[in-house]
Amino acid sequence: MHVQGNESTRRPVALIIGASSGIGRSTAQALSREGWNLVLASRSAPALAEVERECARYGVDTTVIPTDVRDRAAIESLLVQAAAGSGRVDAVVNTAACVAYGRFDQIPAEIYDQVIATNLLGTANVARAALRQFRSQGGGELVLMGSLLGKIAVPFMSPYVTSKWGVHALTRMIQLEAREIPGVHVTLVSPGSVNTPAYSQAANYASREGRPPPPVDPPEKVARAVVKSLTQPRRERSVGLANHIVVLGFRLLPAVFDLAVGPLMKLTGLSRRPVADHPGSVLHPHPAGEAEHGFWDRLGRRHESADSPVPVAP
């Protein structure tokens, strides 16, 4: 990362949105180890305080600003506050997202709309404010979080899939237009299955707990892709061994894909663990469920561990 300013030794500043859990939390730790000063944002103030303590041990400055990406004015204020210390924000990383399981017509409309608002409109709010800041300071790095599910379709995850398809389209539009803004780079990072609390924190109207289909990557692997994107930006980074194969199947053999994806989703994307209908953390944060890692091993099997999140009660 090229640091501009009067002092060549100035620490670069990264704003990480969605920093309280999963990929965002791993990214905060990775950048703090690299010597970045951090501004940490998400809806969950108690969890952000834990992440602040985790990052501070590396001797970097951290600032916590609880913020909801659905609130456009709050995001605009967040960028202003993030730049207040050094006069600039060198990188903005948005990992904030939520998930809802269930058939399209059985997920409550309010839940559906809020997943779209968080994942797609929240990304637009972040990107808009970041680009404004980057224009004023003469450049910056923007990393937005896509998904394998932004390239394919699977049943029982309609709002998440729809929102991530939108994020991919939005990011491509921003990338095309940002070519005219000197010093600005926009990278889309698209993970496959990742062991984060997103599945246990998800809203659920499918009667069975959602889980990541194998192979499941640790959030640290995605964080490494984010960190690399700040020094080696590119149009997109895919993270996941099977991603390209799945996308090829979706595009080249659509009839076969459609025939197989339903049974495969029931087998590998939904566990046998029964759950009652509940909104998860879609409407309101659940700090007790925030953590870096989820419950899942490489093969998508459920396990318990010291930093596994507490399941959201129905």
Tell me the average pLDDT across 188-213: 97
Question: What pLDDT sits at residue 314?
Answer: 35
Question: What pLDDT sits at residue 304?
Answer: 67
Which residue is it, tokens 């210390």?
85
Helix (H, G, I), strand (E, B) or coil at 82: helix
pLDDT over threshold 80, residue 4: no
pLDDT over threshold 80, residue 106: yes
Q: Which candidate, 239, 152, 140, places its Cα nearest to that of 189?
A: 239
Whole-prediction pTM value? Answer: 0.93
**CB distance 41 to 19 below 8 Å:** yes
Question: What pLDDT sits at residue 3?
Answer: 46
The upper half-sphere exposure of residue 237, i.e. CA atoms within 13 Å in the direction of its Cβ, equals: 20
Q: Catalogue all structural domains in the chain, each as residue range(s) with its CATH number.
A: 13-289 (3.40.50.720)
**CB distance 88 to 13 below 8 Å:** yes
Instruction: Report the percent of the chain where pLDDT is more than 70.
Output: 94
Tell me the average pLDDT across 229-238: 97
Report how far residue 130's alpha carbon sits from residue 171's, in angstroms, rounded to the nearest whole number: 13
Tell me the average pLDDT across 227-237: 97
Report how far residue 163's alpha carbon sits from residue 123's, in angstroms, rounded to the nearest whole number: 10
Report how far residue 275's alpha carbon sits from residue 61's, in angstroms, rounded to the nearest whole number: 41
* Paired residues of 108 in beta bridges: none
Question: What pLDDT sits at residue 312?
Answer: 42
Over the stretch 33-61, which tens digit does the pLDDT of each residue have? 999 999 999 999 999 999 999 999 999 99
